[in-house]
Structure 1
């Protein structure tokens, strides 16, 4: 069973908060439109960094993909320029041999570059 953890991105402060900070300071604000809660996927990248929905990863082929939580599952979505195809596959297929290079809140430019 995977560990259940969360992070929260505060759009106003432009800061990511860990689960302990959320529990202590933001428990009454989690349903606020300016706070984006991110769930831990239960998997780590090749450097041991934890995957959360909204993370951006680079796989061994150089494709830049986003971690998405949908329908109770974690997926990666994006475009693979080598195979020239859209990727929409379970995170578990990519997780341990890819690396997190940012997230869609702090590094939205990474996703824009991936579509060029």
Structure 2
């Protein structure tokens, strides 16, 4: 069975949060999804973190020595040197590699042999530079 894990991009503090690994934020599953609460915040209006962008672990790891986990929102380079981002396609209920030319590959095909470059939130310039080179 695939391991289900989430991380969240905090676009206010520009940092990636890993659910279960943060000391200052508590994550819970609510009726409408994941609810994040900043336990260090005294102001009630700011305790609930509505601005987070949640990203899921694909269940795959790359073949590098570190066996790095592959996450939705990652920017990676495949074995042919092409740059893609990891996306989840709702219509197909699957993770894919989306290339800047609009082409999609099954993540099982392009992911394991790929190299991690960054994330779409921390390094968007990687996708822009790749698109300019096409």
- Global fold match (TM > 0.5): yes
Unaligned runs of 5+ in 2: 28-34, 38-47
Matched, 1:113 2:120: no
Structure 2 counterpart SS, 1:76:
strand
Unaligned runs of 5+ in 1: 80-84
Contact 2:75–2:116 (Cα < 8 Å) also in 1? yes
RMSD: 2.1
TM-score w.r.t. length of structure 1 = 0.85
Matched, 1:56 2:75: yes
Per-residue deviation, 1:29: 2.9
Contact 1:57–1:102 (Cα < 8 Å) also in 2? yes
TM-score w.r.t. length of structure 2 = 0.74
User: Which structure features the higher share of helix residues?
Assistant: 1
Larger Rg: 2
1:14 corresponds to which residue?
14
Aligned positions, number: 111
Matched, 1:92 2:82: no
Matched, 1:34 2:55: no
For residues 59-88 of structure 1, what are the alpha-carbon distances to aligned partners after superposition, in whole Å with 9 as ceiling and x for unaligned? 111110000011221001114xxxxx6420
